[in-house]
Structure 1
């Protein structure tokens, strides 16, 4: 989606709540996709997994009707966010009853959709993951297993996907894809109106099993469960220093066909990955995921639960984040601001890797970004070597970048040598990146100023990047070319600004230069070079 490859999965959110999230958060923060829970009619009951037992392919589940679904797609598109629908197409129900849309059904008989002949003949629970046929034709958790080799079933599923497509859906998560032969999924995709639509398939890796995730890459992307499993292991019982080179070289799917994630609704419940109960360990794992080069990240946003079966609070209505048990992981500053980081560093590799040999790491993304992650029990102070251009950078872990180059939190000064020094607290991170559109121009300040020992020269000005006339936020100049003091600063192209120089002595006392405010304008691209002389 225009280079935006991060998905937010809003698990069991009602569609009208998803629409609000697209407008308020997902679009502005730069998410490329939102994945929504299954929209089709399903069995009744409060548990989350009732959504995964289809009764028909009408949009008539607990999360909203056809109109609210369509309105959600439109709102997300208007916010620049594409929509992925979770498509449950391997099976129907485990029992009999009446669906959420009023359809009466019995197992193997779903009026208007399927009857007995449309299901595999095994009719027993899956019992042997070493047997491909058993896994793909028997019943997952006792759910009626569709005969996905049948032309009628393939066509019916394709029509369902096309119906969602007619409402504007951009892509599909194929639930339980491991339990459908890859060739049968290919046949279904070929029968759809848009066989080039984005697909991501749920295929859980099992060591030594005959069915491997790599079989499915011809149909689209595949969820890489090993990424989440390994991140839990490294963050809880290994060293972050060992994450150098993390990615496809660890035996994973190729990066371009993998969806990477820290957790999802199944893994947060079965303990195979980290989850929201792990506090800042969970946050830092998501920060690392987004800063890394591997895969297309999926940020999971669910709700707190006491029992594994607990369904969504308020039937899926999110009145506000952080209320009623809604975690809103996608909106946490430390995570949401790394989406902008990832978008800005797209196309770059990992550079300037640093670690303390233990649980503190840092690395750059080319000349676009730099992140430091401290999973130690105490703070670390370090001078980091980056590939960043000299300038002032917003630490997006602790503040939000502002239009025009400001920041609502702390900033760091990267010198002409590409270095900056930071103290990173325990369980915390620092992330800097070149704001899109701000790296094309700048100002080079040079002032001839004679100083006494212990005195340093600073520049301050009327724009946020120059401290907004606050001497405490004035930017230090380098004395490397003394008596000329220098600073290179990136600014948005076309920025007109006023500025003055000041001196600070060892005690912090400030002396302003005399005269009127100086003025300059950063060009649309390139640098404005300012050669000034201190006015006593």
Structure 2
């Protein structure tokens, strides 16, 4: 089903001829395998605050790259002819670039930002995208956003050169700011035009020249080089209109197909959907991700994870983290509504793949509770508790009020008071807060569309560091860094009504209590509340910025209580109790990554982690590379695969456990196939003798197989490279009742290549 021919290698003679030719012209070359990760700050953690930048829409620091060589100048928003984007036609390029981000690093640093997420830095389709309208007009678009991949190994020249990117990385790191890039591994560009009866369009993917060993070749500046002497620095790798190697699924637009098969195998918005079950595709995407990791980035935001094969995602993430430089941040866009039938698939995605979610459940509820008031504050509190229970790694999810794919929050909530309240809650809630560029400047779009929200910040604001929103982020990002209750703590709702929420974040003795009134013009009295805070007076961390004041804690009949207080319109209070936890007791707050194979690096965060410590995965001791009071770098030991608890012991004291999944080895895909009939609502699953197949536990089996051609079912599953394993198919009905095949165990062997994929035969259910 997914088999494709192998690449044909260049001959050694061609290599020698090209080398002789180019050495005579003084070119120097580097190859992808020669680069190593340098200068990273480590993964993004719950102590960080992320700032999302749509690179083209932030700031133009270098006008010389606004109209790169060969680019149609009419696709740059420059009606005045002064080579400056004017922020009017948001479908066109505006001029933001790597240098623009560098120029605004002081602005970001002063706000308390410790990580930036930028648009995909690599080359995108650079020709016009035309949408034909019902009135006969044509909308002309560009790929300014970075989601129409063309060549993963060259920079988007509208943003700058590879040298410019490296300067951006270095400037950010020198200021303590981590760098996360958007990465699209689901599709290339639009290959059919849905506004013109799906007429052929683009979708082509290119790669640099290769040497005789198959290594990509770059010049001394890190740019793709014309190695083979044909006058070009790239070669066509795949074309969805002539897909000889099966690089794309080619099943057409998803339309209204809401099945898992539809989401994963059909086109998203007519973007050419990669066949992630094809070994050539896996190899290319892994090579591309490792290339950017080698440039010293600190993480990946994975686009469109809802639309990707989870077995691919798991192996992809594992390949990146197992490469030189250790684990980096991974979070992805698993887009859901509220409520949504895909919720269970969404909430379990991080534990199944190792890639965390952008928290759409948080976003939806915050929009409703603080934006249009269609949900109560009690409902928001209920969501916080439900997701704390549902998410295995609740503090690693990336929370947000808006982003490039949704309506700007300011459009939904133009009133400053609930707007500020939402921002304060975002900054103190579980998870890692993500601030969409311009939120701190109250950017107000003309309408509710996502494109209207992708405003050019340079023409829309003066980057004022004195706005209330800017100061809220500034103060609370500092609190997030310094009080582990916010970064690592649990959540408890102390009091809630339709309009009021009082909640507590707690990590051992450390606490932060947040009290919020979303109503701008109403005052409410909060009754006396039980508390574990010591007796005393606690001042508002925001210093009255959102009308807050101090509270008193008194002992009443042996119970400490927060005295009754009032919340005026839009008032937000943040009270912090931040005692030293000492250094003798180790406490784990977070672990990155949460999934890996023996030999991988793992970072353990918390308190009391310095000095002489012993790290164990289950009962197996791990090697400690380095440690401090707040972090341990360790190596995953060679022990039993599956779920293990990490603990840290210092002297006779052992920390709390933290869940970690040890993989059986380098992950590859086996695509299982079976012909089986089921009753209505029933599904087929795979279970086997390795942890990736549940170790014979039907409750830990694969996800339900896909059946677009019932009664045939198929499913890609991530298993260890080269492993020979036993398995069976099982049936589950709507009530969870299990029927096993009544036959001996089936046996299969996974491919030996690190990027290999293989199809099983079409089996038939055996009763």
Which range, TM-score by smaller chain?
0.5 to 0.7
Correspondence for 1:396: 542
Aligned-pair CA distance for 1:278: 5.8
Correspondence for 2:260: 132
Correspondence for 1:82: 178
Correspondence for 1:224: 359
Pairing 1:115–2:198 present: no
SS at match of 1:55: strand
Q: How does 1:201-280 map to 2 (within 5 A)?
A: 201-205=332-336, 207-209=340-342, 212-213=345-346, 214-217=348-351, 218-235=353-370, 236-247=373-384, 249-250=386-387, 252-254=390-392, 255-268=394-407, 275=412, 277=414, 279-280=416-417
Correspondence for 1:509: none
Name which of 460, 463, 473 aligns with 1:335.
473
Give the conservation status (yes or no) of the 8 Å contact 2:538–2:551: yes
Alpha-carbon separation, structure 1, partners of 2:282 and 2:567:
54
Correspondence for 1:168: 296
Aligned-pair CA distance for 1:429: 1.2
Name which of 424, 427, 449 aligns with 2:570.
427
Pair 1:23–1:439, CA change in 2 (3 A): farther
Pairing 1:34–2:116 present: yes
Give the conservation status (yes or no) of the 8 Å contact 1:87–1:173: yes
Alpha-carbon separation, structure 1, partners of 2:412 and 2:172:
27
Post-superposition Cα deviations, 1:74-103, rounded to whole Å, max 9, x if no partner, equal: 22222222211111221111159xxxxxxx
Correspondence for 2:50: 7
Pair 1:202–1:124, CA change in 2 (3 A): same
Unaligned runs of 5+ in 1: 97-104, 401-408, 441-536
SS at match of 1:358: coil
When the two chains are superposed, the root-mean-square deviation of aligned CA atoms in Å is 4.0
Pairing 1:321–2:417 present: no
Name which of 495, 502, 509 aligns with 1:354.
495
Correspondence for 1:53: 148
Alpha-carbon separation, structure 2, partners of 1:37 and 1:48:
11
Aligned-pair CA distance for 1:125: 0.8
Give the conservation status (yes or no) of the 8 Å contact 2:552–2:562: yes
Alpha-carbon separation, structure 2, partners of 1:291 and 1:267:
22
Aligned-pair CA distance for 1:56: 1.4
Aligned-pair CA distance for 1:142: 1.0
Correspondence for 1:68: 164
Give the conservation status (yes or no) of the 8 Å contact 1:262–1:274: no
Greater CA deviation, 228-237 or 249-258?
Answer: 249-258
Aligned-pair CA distance for 1:191: 3.4
Post-superposition Cα deviations, 1:381-417, rounded to whole Å, max 9, x if no partner, equal: 55765626635624416459xxxxxxxx986364565
Pair 1:20–1:337, CA change in 2 (3 A): farther
Pairing 1:363–2:363 present: no
SS at match of 2:292: helix
Greater CA deviation, 250-259 or 273-282?
Answer: 273-282
TM-score computed with the length of structure 1 as normaliser: 0.66
Name which of 139, 154, 158 aligns with 2:286.
158
Pair 1:239–1:152, CA change in 2 (3 A): same
Pair 1:337–1:59, CA change in 2 (3 A): same
Correspondence for 1:379: 523
Post-superposition Cα deviations, 1:232-275, rounded to whole Å, max 9, x if no partner, equal: 23331232134334336258533145222222221226x9x985
Give the conservation status (yes or no) of the 8 Å contact 1:220–1:257: no
Pair 1:348–1:210, CA change in 2 (3 A): closer
Pair 1:226–1:68, CA change in 2 (3 A): same
Give the conservation status (yes or no) of the 8 Å contact 1:128–1:135: no
Give the conservation status (yes or no) of the 8 Å contact 1:374–1:425: yes
Alpha-carbon separation, structure 1, partners of 2:551 and 2:581:
15
Pair 1:379–1:248, CA change in 2 (3 A): closer
Aligned-pair CA distance for 1:226: 1.6
Give the conservation status (yes or no) of the 8 Å contact 1:92–1:143: yes
Post-superposition Cα deviations, 1:7-26, rounded to whole Å, max 9, x if no partner, equal: 22223333334335544434
Give the conservation status (yes or no) of the 8 Å contact 1:91–1:143: yes
Give the conservation status (yes or no) of the 8 Å contact 2:124–2:143: no
Pair 1:412–1:216, CA change in 2 (3 A): closer
Alpha-carbon separation, structure 1, partners of 2:106 and 2:433:
20
Unaligned runs of 5+ in 2: 1-43, 59-96, 129-140, 193-200, 207-233, 556-560, 584-767
Aligned-pair CA distance for 1:188: 2.4
Alpha-carbon separation, structure 2, partners of 1:77 and 1:430:
33
Name which of 286, 289, 296 aligns with 2:432.
296
Alpha-carbon separation, structure 2, partners of 1:232 and 1:160:
36
TM-score computed with the length of structure 2 as normaliser: 0.48
Correspondence for 1:406: none
Correspondence for 2:419: 282
Pair 1:119–1:133, CA change in 2 (3 A): farther
SS at match of 1:246: helix
Name which of 101, 112, 124 aligns with 1:18.
101
Pair 1:71–1:237, CA change in 2 (3 A): same
Aligned-pair CA distance for 1:210: 9.9
Greater CA deviation, 156-165 or 122-131?
Answer: 122-131
SS at match of 1:244: helix
Give the conservation status (yes or no) of the 8 Å contact 1:47–1:310: no
Aligned-pair CA distance for 1:212: 2.0
Aligned-pair CA distance for 1:166: 2.1
